[in-house]
Amino acid sequence: MDEPTESQEIIAAAIRVLDLCRARGLTVATAESCTGGLVVGALTEIAGSSDVVDRGFVTYSNAAKIAVLGVSPETLKAHGAVSAETAREMVTGLLKVAGTSLGVSVTGIAGPGGGSAAKPVGLVHFAAARQGGRLIERREVFAGQSRAGVRRLSVLAALAMLAELAGD
């Protein structure tokens, strides 16, 4: 049997999220920075996803994170856009704005530039939450990956987090 292609892997992960959400009557929203809408794009690639997917925000700039999601300027100043604190505030703000059952946020450094010793290229912070319930956070360093590789692996990680919450 052939190995699944990268796109088949993402499609399978998206279908899993949608199926779990449908079975439980859950809705989803995304807040994305380094993935630029690829997570919500993967979900909406699947026909009929509108019964689960409510919206997706691409909050690439700090100004967008503040204006759309209510991320605190103090958090951004103290910890930076690529931090667990910012990812947490992104998903918390997302759930307030969207009112969906589930939300996921992604913020990172896809590269090839922009990294530092403290925050290398490939560093990505994720937060996923269930309305009024569980919050899960994840930090990954996708070292040695191209920009496309960091973004692809980030989409898979975000979808896995949504599936975990939907399965609770």
Q: Identify the pLDDT of residue 161.
A: 98
Q: Identify the pLDDT of residue 60.
A: 97
Q: Using alpha carbons only, what angle is made at residue 12 by residues 26 and 53, rounded to the nearest 5 degrees?
A: 30
Q: Identify the pLDDT of residue 88.
A: 98
Q: Identify the pLDDT of residue 6.
A: 75
Domains of the chain: 6-167 (3.90.950.20)
Over its length of 168 residues, how does the chain's per-residue pLDDT go in tens digits?
556 677 899 999 999 999 999 999 999 999 999 999 999 999 999 999 999 999 999 999 999 999 999 999 999 999 999 999 999 999 999 999 999 999 999 999 999 999 999 999 999 999 999 999 999 999 999 999 999 999 999 999 999 999 999 997
Per-residue tokens: 89: 């505030």
Q: Using alpha carbons only, what angle is made at residue 49 by residues 46 and 53, rounded to the nearest 5 degrees?
A: 125
Q: Identify the pLDDT of residue 1.
A: 54
153: left (phi over 0), alpha (psi -120 to 50) or beta: alpha
Cα-trace Rg, the chain: 15
Instruction: State how far the Cα of 70 lies from the Cα of 73, in Å rounded to an integer.
Output: 9
Q: Identify the pLDDT of residue 4.
A: 66
